[in-house]
Structure 1
């Protein structure tokens, strides 16, 4: 019977990971990492120190480097003299990368926010959308019935068909953007929640491709009047291709060590956001409305990151962070009401800042020539998630 790894790779010899040449070394590294995961950071680092310049597969070396970096941050977090900003900075580095300094992350997110607001304002001017702020104008756009699907089965079917059409537009672009994907990744689809799932109040979810299972994104359209047409193309890029349905199955095949999963935790969501940005650069959102939908999603991510920094590193009141988000977005993301989202950010420091910064770092690290993007992206995805210093 074919394993999941063989299924995703088409059953060929390329699915044999790690290769026989590294099997013994990889087993030693994995055994040491398993032991390190049970130890305090100082003892774990001492245990892993014997693997300096180890001859092992790329995946094992990525595991080892991520574990060392993350354990080093955990050790730093044990200092009792850290102030709030210092602690937050280490928390971001713990799940993103050592180059994710607070100064850099805050600066990059602020620059991105200003650019997104300016770009949105220009498009809103072009469409003559009224309002005193970008947020108010987004809110008006969301309320325009011309942009909404009917709240019935026909409307939901039309929304799903629109998402399928976007996916069909994306597929032929993938080889020149991220390289060739396994067939199982390329064959993913989108469908809606069934009646039983809707009755149970279930939200959207993903089904990763597996033996006999076609990969799917199951979209939540229960409150379809809150999901205007122009908001969905970016969802396809993020949730399906080249987003999570490219990254997650390849990561499942690569099977990174749990310590790498822990210490590169911001990468999967960061890749999903980056996938949206990549498709925007490739012209997927040529319609001004679709581009505004894309910009709104990016503002959602960036505003969350800035709120994370403001609350945890600068001591800003959550109420002020909430007001700032409202001013930029106007309308909340479908699954994240403003107040509930700020409460969540308050309880979960560093996650939103890290996730919002990773795609910016990806864009900064990739080759300038787009002809080299497929190779860069293929290498990036092939062995599972990475910390940003490993890009």
Structure 2
């Protein structure tokens, strides 16, 4: 492992810095030193402004904090923060910076500009949805098994303080939603329906059965009896007198008031400045200048291409009906639903890893030190969640976690499990995110920075590596990979259809069912996901196609000089960056490699 890290560090110095000499801290120019101090200051301010991010990084300094992200004071503070660093960036000329520093300058410039622009669209009026919002993150942390630590008495006290501040945010969310209703900023009714039981689940039941009581059940035996008693009383009082009333209030508000104002329109064009907001979301999530119509047409083209590949698999397995009926056959095939216990689903993913492990070194010579785990998604959010990966802590003490929702194990279909593992775990998000965090060449603010087009594009790209990694030997698993790629191609059509072409939720659902093998329940959840966060779903295919395009270009132009390991190193070595920066970097690497 030490040898691998050394190789990685030397590689970064040689490639990322081109022909520049390796500058030590002592030999850096005063301008370079000041520039890096500015990057450090930006990172420190970011962590303080968003302490939840700090917690997920493993930085425990702000574990007791939860700013009111919805307050005018906080919003103005954020805007001033980005404006300040944009002005500071203008003070540095590229000629005074190393290649690595110039990349950081470009990344920070993008980060400040795109976030500043986001405040033009009054997103504080839509603070809650069924899938993406911070109340769900807090529920995950409350389970006691996520990023928030519960190992010391101080940890337990930190959580009590954080929850107190979170409940202020929740009360403000209700105020903002009331204001939003009056101004036309409101969610579609179909999303509100899914939110109601999420709040009801925490508003009802006993204190000891409440999700927020979970850390007490996990309390270390090493705590003194006095501390155990005091913490149990404090958590019980907070749940009984603050959490349950706050969640009950939001539950009743959603059920009795908010849903009556819920939109009948499905797309974001139904809110004020919805079209402009969608254009912004496309730019934010794809890191490109593509238009909604360009993406829609690309999606239609990709759907047609993948359908033709699916036809080949259908013929291979000897199915005689049409493709649409084959989708239904795959959805309902009991042979693809072999499990009776949730742990069997988890074990199957570990078995996939063991199967592919011997082949990994053929494609990757730099691997992360960070460990990973596979876990079942928590019950309170399982019904509305997709499989996902949560990055481990920077110090490596908390592993990365691949979460799998298993709402009904008897209907859990394994057809896409190999592709899913490649995407969410190895060599997908676990490799990409962990190597980024472990990279000593990156400034702190870039170690956990995420751009969906890059990160999800990489995840989808890695699904295509299955055959090279010894997977997809079963035609149904290959069909599962095609199904997952189709799912992302459909997103290009459906997301743009919903938000720029007047599609209804029902039309989007039907289009998906007509072109993929996912269950109707899964399709509904996905379509509602697109409705809640316009544009995010576009990032996967746009990013994947760019990486595939760059690999094809490098393969063609470098000929026998092309090495797949080195290409992967190039894509991963600078972490998450906007696609236009990745393209420039790979093009530069191709030219250098030719020489």
SS at match of 2:555: coil
Q: Distance in 1 between matches of 2:433 and 2:97?
A: 23
Question: Displacement of 1:319 after TM fit?
Answer: 1.9
User: How many residues end up aligned between the 2 structures?
Assistant: 374
Residues 149-171 of structure 1: CA distance to partner in whole angstroms, max 9, x if unpaired? 13137xx43x4444333212333
Question: Displacement of 1:376 after TM fit?
Answer: 2.4
Question: Displacement of 1:309 after TM fit?
Answer: 0.9
1:232 aligns with 2:410: no
Contact 2:40–2:445 at 8 Å: present in 1 too? no
Q: Distance in 2 between matches of 1:124 and 1:111?
A: 20
Give the RMSD, CA atoms, in angstroms. 4.1
TM-score using structure 1 length = 0.78
Residues 130-150 of structure 1: CA distance to partner in whole angstroms, max 9, x if unpaired? 65543x422211322222213
Residues 17-73 of structure 1: CA distance to partner in whole angstroms, max 9, x if unpaired? 995255713223444686996438766544322223054465543332123235455
Q: 2:500 aligns with which of 300, 313, 326?
A: 313
Matched residue, 2:361: 175
Q: Distance in 1 between matches of 2:401 and 2:569?
A: 22
Q: Distance in 1 between matches of 2:414 and 2:457?
A: 24
Task: Pick closer, same or farther for the CA change 1:10–1:245 going to 2, 3 Å.
Answer: farther
Q: Distance in 2 between matches of 1:41 and 1:206?
A: 26
1:127 aligns with 2:313: no
Matched residue, 2:573: 382
Q: Distance in 2 between matches of 1:356 and 1:256?
A: 28
Q: Distance in 1 between matches of 2:93 and 2:355?
A: 46
Matched residue, 1:291: 478
Residues 165-219 of structure 1: CA distance to partner in whole angstroms, max 9, x if unpaired? 321233333333243213x25xx465454xxx87777676646375455555354
SS at match of 1:286: coil
Contact 1:42–1:75 at 8 Å: present in 2 too? yes
Q: Distance in 2 between matches of 1:12 and 1:41?
A: 32
Contact 2:40–2:443 at 8 Å: present in 1 too? no
1:27 aligns with 2:37: yes
Q: Distance in 1 between matches of 2:418 and 2:85?
A: 45
Contact 2:296–2:497 at 8 Å: present in 1 too? no
Contact 2:339–2:409 at 8 Å: present in 1 too? yes
Q: Distance in 2 between matches of 1:95 and 1:261?
A: 16
TM-score using structure 2 length = 0.53
Residues 338-376 of structure 1: CA distance to partner in whole angstroms, max 9, x if unpaired? 223222312211111123311111111222269433222
Matched residue, 2:282: 92
Contact 2:497–2:503 at 8 Å: present in 1 too? yes
Contact 1:230–1:290 at 8 Å: present in 2 too? yes
1:353 aligns with 2:544: no
1:63 aligns with 2:104: yes
Matched residue, 1:269: 456
Q: Which has the larger radius of gyration?
A: 2
Question: Displacement of 1:386 after TM fit?
Answer: 1.0
SS at match of 2:515: helix
Question: Displacement of 1:314 after TM fit?
Answer: 2.1
Matched residue, 2:350: 164
Q: 1:52 aligns with which of 85, 93, 114?
A: 93
SS at match of 2:501: coil
Q: Distance in 2 between matches of 1:325 and 1:84?
A: 24
Q: 1:138 aligns with which of 295, 317, 327?
A: 327
Q: 2:301 aligns with which of 111, 125, 131?
A: 111
Q: Distance in 2 between matches of 1:236 and 1:169?
A: 12
Higher relative contact order (CA 8 A, sep 6+): 1
Q: Distance in 2 between matches of 1:115 and 1:13?
A: 40
Question: Displacement of 1:298 after TM fit?
Answer: 1.5
Q: Which moved more, 1:13-22 or 1:220-229?
A: 13-22
Q: Which moved more, 1:198-207 or 1:341-350?
A: 198-207
Q: Which moved more, 1:218-227 or 1:228-237?
A: 218-227
SS at match of 1:285: coil
Matched residue, 2:80: 39
Residues 297-345 of structure 1: CA distance to partner in whole angstroms, max 9, x if unpaired? 1122222232111111222222211211111124249xx7322322231
Question: Displacement of 1:247 after TM fit?
Answer: 0.9
Residues 211-249 of structure 1: CA distance to partner in whole angstroms, max 9, x if unpaired? 455555354445233333332111221122111110111
Q: Distance in 2 between matches of 1:40 and 1:191?
A: 37
SS at match of 1:230: coil
SS at match of 1:217: strand
Residues 270-298 of structure 1: CA distance to partner in whole angstroms, max 9, x if unpaired? 22111112335666313211111111111
Q: Distance in 2 between matches of 1:74 and 1:189?
A: 31
Q: Which moved more, 1:85-94 or 1:359-368?
A: 85-94
Q: Distance in 2 between matches of 1:257 and 1:110?
A: 40
Contact 1:99–1:389 at 8 Å: present in 2 too? no
Contiguous gaps of at least 5 residues in structure 1: 1-5
SS at match of 1:94: helix
